[in-house]
Amino acid sequence: MNIGEVAHSSGVSAKMIRHYESIGLIRETSRTLAGYRQYQSRDVHLLRFVRRARDLGFSLEQIRKLLSLWDDPKRASADVKRLAQTHIAELDARIVALTDMRDTLVALSKGCHGDHRPDCPILHGLAES
């Protein structure tokens, strides 16, 4: 398969496939004599794995670890679970931070009349340290 076909089948853009290759997240594939990349069905499966991990918010470094574990038939599932639980904790912290941001913006927005007057509690709130 060429890169366009793999991009379509995996749901990962050709640009991202090239990026993942350039950073070593996925191996560089073989090329034709004309220099075109050639992919196999395993590459599609691998890219779907990466896309799904990205959809779940894993960082590229975490995905690199997951791929390493995925390729290791002697892996301990505890290692995979530990990585997932660490990510869950990170997501929980981000949820708390986002909720705090939202609550602050809601409070500031409620205090603003939103009319023709120049006084704006939102701007005052943003100017506070």
Give the pLDDT confidence score for residue 30 in this predicted structure. Answer: 85
Cα–Cα distance for residue pair 59/94, rounded to 1 Å: 14
Give the pLDDT confidence score for residue 129 in this predicted structure. Answer: 66
CATH fold for the domain made of 1-56: Multidrug-efflux Transporter Regulator; Chain: A; Domain 2 (1.10.1660)
By CB atoms closer than 10 A (0-12, 13-18, 19+), residue 113 is exposed
Give the pLDDT confidence score for residue 19 in this predicted structure. Answer: 97
pLDDT in tens, the chain (129 residues): 999 999 999 999 999 999 999 999 998 888 888 888 899 999 999 999 999 999 999 999 999 999 999 999 999 999 999 999 999 999 999 999 999 999 999 999 999 988 998 889 899 999 986
CA separation, residue 124 to residues 73, 78, 106 (Å): 58, 49, 14
| Coil/strand/helix, residue 125 | helix
Burial 67-94 (b: 16+ CB within 10 A, else e): beeeeeeeeeeeeeeebeeebeeeeeee
Q: Any idea where the domains of the chain sit in the sequence? A: 1-56, 76-129
| Tokens 């991990």 -> residue | 53
Contact 27, 21 (CB under 8 A): yes
